[in-house]
Structure 1
Amino acid sequence: MAMKENGSIPSRAPEELKAVLKAVASEWGDIIKDMEEFLVVKLKGAMTNEVFQINWPTKHGGLHQKVLVRVYGEGVEVFFNRDDDIRTFECMSEHGQGPKLLGRFPDGRIEEFIHSRTLSAADLRDPEISSLVAAKLREFHNLDMPGPKDVLLWKRLRTWLSQAKKLCSPEAAKEFGLDALRDEISILEKELSQGDQEIGFCHNDLQYALSVLVATIAFFLDYEYASYNPVAYDLANHFCEMAANYHSETPHILDYTIYPDSEERRRFIRAYITSSGNEPSDAEVEQLLADAEKYTVANHLFWGLWGIISGHVNKIEFDYLEYARQRFKQYWYKKSLVLQSLTF
């Protein structure tokens, strides 16, 4: 694709993308005669898809239009159903929770570009920003989305385990202990599903780069992994992601020495519950704090399997297998701390 760029769209992006871009520009009254008029900026931080900002000059001279182009990662259909992803995306847009869908092509889609500030790893430690994220997460969990409202976590883990076994060599399967994981998943499901747990519509991929601020309102982006799950699992996901810095020179390296301490997690959970308009009791905060901490083990297993599969199917420049090793190491370590009462 001949465009001015400081990033490049993969060569596998089809000719249809050019036509859809021209159609979007035309709907806004901009006539694009030469593809050189488009400026491509590759955005960092994405690990499932490749994401680009595309600008072009408007008919008003110095002004520029912007859209976001998402090119789907290769082989990621194993993780989610793309049609379901599009339906969720459109529904989120209708709820005012995210950008609008502007166009589709076989290997991706074009989205509204939201003028916002993407959060950094450091932003998540800011109490004020953390409270905004907590309030938005509470709102997200309360969404009434179409389709089944059953917990998807355990089914997805079993599906991904089967896929990981198919892709791995015998040596790699032994390294990651894949033969033992079916029993691990069954016991986790039994033990973690006990008690009265709130089930909500969860994002399931709460890395900081998928959170943005528009003025003083937080928004979450990318809903490929979204589904109904225990809200404690999504909180665990958020806390685990605070060990990552995907914009560093080694984005696959996780630093669990900066995992939020109990007071930081407690503050987030209190803000999360309070945002609904009810002042929580200390017991309510402590229960959700404990539940979220237990669900970190399921979260490490989830992203460990994701890393193994991605390392075999996705061509994005990211050391998925080393990321998976760290997640599995943390799984076994964390399990011994927070699930000491379980018999494995």
Structure 2
Amino acid sequence: MGVAEDPVNNKDATQNLVDNKLGEAENPANVKEIVAENPIDDKGRPEENPIKDMADCLPDEATQILKSLASEWENVLDANALQVIPLKGAMTNEVFQIKWQTTAGETSRKVLARIYGEGTDIFFDRDDEIRTFEFISKNGQGPRLLGRFAHGRIEEFIRARTLSASDLRDPSISALIATKMKEFHDLDMPGPKKVLLWERLRNWLSEARRLCSPEEVETFHLDTMDKEISSLENELSGTHQRIGFCHNDLQYGNFMLDEENNSVTIIDYEYSSYNPVAYDIANHFSEMVANYHTETPHVLDYSKYPDLEERKRFVYTYLSSSGQQPSDSEVQQLVDEVEKYTLANHLLWGVWGIISEHVNKIDFDYKEYAKQRFQEYWSRKKHLLSSDESSHDNVTYINGEQAPISIPGEKPANVFRKLKKLFGLGLFRSKH
């Protein structure tokens, strides 16, 4: 059950490990319970599979912080008797529900422990993330920070359920998401309000090239990707764009639904920054093709991408949530911008997948994921952009699918053999 053997005897020493408790969190008895990222079974009930040996997943520093927190809760029977339950669906960090048995007739006490994934500091600055977390928490937009340790943190646990992939297609839930997204974008985050998208994309590309073999660089066109990024930036950047504080990772697992109050909370702000709001909406639409709770979580099904009616409905709700009814032309303009920004999403998360394949130990086929994102970029680019300066017009197709490689003068059969040798036959599974 994850019961610690030795009680914490030096509370002062342990308390020094609990860093920057915020507001009400200084009184742990008042902490709200937030059910975040909880996996569900086929009947919609939470799955709970406690780990018997905490040493396998939690560092000692985290365990001491957890015991210190629980020792201040009057209704916890034994602060040292904590259960550690891994939560599924995370691709950047390892996430655990921590719970304690409480006095008769009361629900268990719970918090969330987040262990940062190996090598993920490549993607974002953890100090910036914590500052964002604190600001959003103080503005009532998410869970509170309860403690920090060297490679992770302890968060509040909200009584709500994590959305599933299918929830994103529910019109009523989608409307809640659109409204909450507009509220999030309107946050007045301290610091420079500078678009980060293009700088981040170039930095990640540089890191991907450093980590990849020459063959991988050629396979994924990383050697000429700078041109694609510059072309996109020139095409998409404009003075008319709405810039807001964007989440940048709006997959279903980062939305919590409180069904009693009919409200949505956005969680996990690691990738958050100022960006065009069209990019954030495009990210959300692109995530509708994914289901990270299947036996093949990396496989994307683009037949599930929202149709034009769904996209217009979402954008209309987003724009009208501030109290003013948008015109048809305003809705159409933002819908068009969003579609173009799906291209930037595909490039960014494709590069992310390549880097993650080299640095992250989580069980996820990052390379196959990257391949699908790049394929979607190349297949949609000419349709969405007014000008196409791509140097990859001669793209190879295999079994009707676009292969992420083009070698001048090489026959398709040779391309197939090279890809097969590099990735194995699994590369050519249909993404549907």
TM-score range relative to shorter protein: over 0.9
Alignment of 1:51-200 (within 5 A): 51-59=95-103, 63-200=107-244
What secondary structure sits across from 2:97 in the alignment?
strand
Q: 1:263 to 1:63 in 2, by over 3 A?
A: closer
Which residue pairs with 2:49 in the alignment?
6
Which residue pairs with 2:304 in the alignment?
258
Pairing 1:18–2:68 present: no
5+ long unaligned stretches in structure 1:
none
CA contact (8 A) 1:203 1:226 kept: yes
CA contact (8 A) 2:288 2:306 kept: yes
Residue 73 of structure 2 is aligned with which of 25, 28, 49? 28
CA contact (8 A) 2:179 2:317 kept: yes
Q: 1:227 to 1:208 in 2, by over 3 A?
A: same
Q: Which amino acid aligns with 1:19?
A: Q
Q: How many residues align?
A: 343
Q: 1:19 to 1:229 in 2, by over 3 A?
A: same
Q: Which amino acid aligns with 2:65?
A: V
Q: Which amino acid aligns with 2:49?
A: N
Which residue pairs with 2:284 in the alignment?
238
Residues in 2 aligned to 1:340 and 1:111: alpha-carbon distance in whole angstroms: 45
Residues in 1 aligned to 2:299 and 2:378: alpha-carbon distance in whole angstroms: 17
Which residue pairs with 1:310 in the alignment?
356
Structure 1 residue 341, shift from structure 2 partner: 2.4
Structure 1 residue 257, shift from structure 2 partner: 1.0
Structure 1 residue 224, shift from structure 2 partner: 0.1
Q: Which amino acid aligns with 1:203?
A: H
Which residue pairs with 1:207 in the alignment?
251
More moved, 59-68 vs 216-225? 59-68
1:66-101, Cα deviation, whole Å (9 max, x unpaired): 101111101000000001111111111001000011
More moved, 26-35 vs 219-228? 26-35
Structure 1 residue 322, shift from structure 2 partner: 0.6
Residues in 2 aligned to 1:198 and 1:3: alpha-carbon distance in whole angstroms: 51
Structure 1 residue 42, shift from structure 2 partner: 1.1
Which residue pairs with 1:327 in the alignment?
373
Larger of the two Rg values belongs to structure: 2
5+ long unaligned stretches in structure 2:
5-47, 391-432
Residues in 2 aligned to 1:31 and 1:42: alpha-carbon distance in whole angstroms: 21
Structure 1 residue 187, shift from structure 2 partner: 1.3
Structure 1 residue 199, shift from structure 2 partner: 0.4
Residues in 2 aligned to 1:3 and 1:338: alpha-carbon distance in whole angstroms: 56
Which residue pairs with 2:388 in the alignment?
342
What secondary structure sits across from 2:297 in the alignment?
coil
Q: 1:10 to 1:179 in 2, by over 3 A?
A: farther
Give TM-score, length-normalised by structure 2.
Answer: 0.77
CA contact (8 A) 2:2 2:83 kept: no
Structure 1 residue 324, shift from structure 2 partner: 0.5
1:276-326, Cα deviation, whole Å (9 max, x unpaired): 101000000000000000000000001001101111101111111110010
CA contact (8 A) 1:204 1:227 kept: yes
Residues in 1 aligned to 2:128 and 2:79: alpha-carbon distance in whole angstroms: 35
